[in-house]
Structure 1
């Protein structure tokens, strides 16, 4: 398994198809460095291609989930963009931002569901990451902030595009314009997270239970559900229905379907082949 500077992939139970992906710069509150943006899509691609992995849980090592983009990185980006010709600097900056965006979108490209387990701070780039995840949970002491406006920049890695469909347009606008701190409980009320837990251990146990439940289901059905939901988000109803009809015309008649029917008749748990 590949070793990373900013991340760690952990399989806590060798018999489990749930894998943990840790943001692993705890001394920097998991601030996002240039290494992160090159390593994160590689880590997710490796989990996507790993037939033993059915579900990914995303954690932050240490006391916080993620404090946002590393400010040293931000300074170096600004210096690079401002050196020399303004037009060429702007063209380079656009390509660079697109590359950073692509690293976050790798969460959606991963066929396996990615569950964010959030504790402590989830700020700026951290919000970009969790809004790209499929399910989110947090501890009661977690807090969120779309902080970019306080750095005199416009959030550009996905929060402004994904957050409105999660918490509603009005809530997203208010959070993005004020940059205020959103508590874990308020995040639950807004629908940003599916559950809030009293401690990190409680969250870990609950998220592990949810992940194992998803991992026990047909991997074809799970990956298809994720793919269709993400595609339908950007389609009207008729287009979405057409897309899922096409998807299921290819995927529906599988060994997983036969196994599910047999297991129900025989009153046993189904077992599925790896994806």
Structure 2
């Protein structure tokens, strides 16, 4: 990899690439650099014939806190007003499609992807791991489809891809409550394939699986992934288009402003349904 990135590091060894989230937001939160760089990172890896598997991990104590709200506030401010103009909503829709593209780049990568999750994996972090092929976790991992608590319909991948990973009842429980679940629960409902004692063991397991994949004939591996992906492309694409339109129309609300204000003031929000 020739390029240097602000949101990730990329290391390649023995046909396996490791993409590590590094922020720069707290807890590897997903700010402007993440959304801009992910399509470039995965396009470059996908085009490299020497890379036969990709491991995705987080630096520090957590995988990702999800969307970096302080850094991305401008994207929401465009439509924060209930009286937002058609132009503001159209520009927000365009931005949202671009953000979806950052996660799509991972899902559409022809090279198999394996996530190793430790610590918190919140909101956008779940969007990201829903786009990979295989998910491992450390015992301390915690997951949350948190968007509902911010008066936001999750719109960059979770609601499109998790229905292909989880049973309907488990997904609705996570998405409608915004609750936190631990690694044991995540494994039980099928969100992760396996749980390991700590972050190092989870990452090592991801690399072992990546090495197994990399040892197989690369064109056959690519073919298997392509055939499996073909079964979900239309369904996922339709869901992403629909939620982008839905949020561009209905995201502006008093509850959204209240959720963000309450978060920064570290208090419980008071939602009114307006």
Q: What is the TM-score with the length of structure 2 in the denominator?
A: 0.81
**Structure ranking higher on relative contact order (CA contacts 8 Å, 6+ apart):** 2
| Counterpart for residue 129 of structure 1 | 128
2:72 aligned with 1:71: no
Q: Structure 1: how far apart are the matches of 2:22 and 2:48? A: 21
Q: Distance in 2 between matches of 1:33 and 1:204?
A: 24
Q: Give the 5 Å matches for 1:107-186.
A: 107-186=106-185
Q: Aligned Cα RMSD in Å?
A: 1.7
Alpha-carbon distance change, 27 to 72 in structure 1, aligned in 2, over 3 angstroms: closer
1:53 aligns with 2:24: no
SS at 1:192's partner residue?
coil
Normalised TM-score (structure 1) = 0.81
Deviation at 1:227, TM superposition (A): 1.1
Alignment map for 1:1-275 (pairs within 5 Å):
1-11=2-12, 13=13, 16-25=14-23, 28-82=26-80, 86-233=85-232
Deviations 1:144-167 (A, max 9, x none): 000000111110001011112211
- Please state whether the residue corresponding to 1:122 is helix, strand or coil: strand
Give yes or no for contact 2:23–2:29 (8 Å, CA) kept in 1: yes
Report the CA distance shift for 1:26/1:95 in structure 2 as closer, same or farther (over 3 A): closer
Q: Which has the larger radius of gyration?
A: 1
Deviations along 1:181-234, whole A, 9 cap, x unmatched? 111011111111110000112112221111100000011111111111111135
| Cα distance, 1:90 vs structure 2 | 0.7
CA distance in 2, matches of 1:146, 1:73: 20
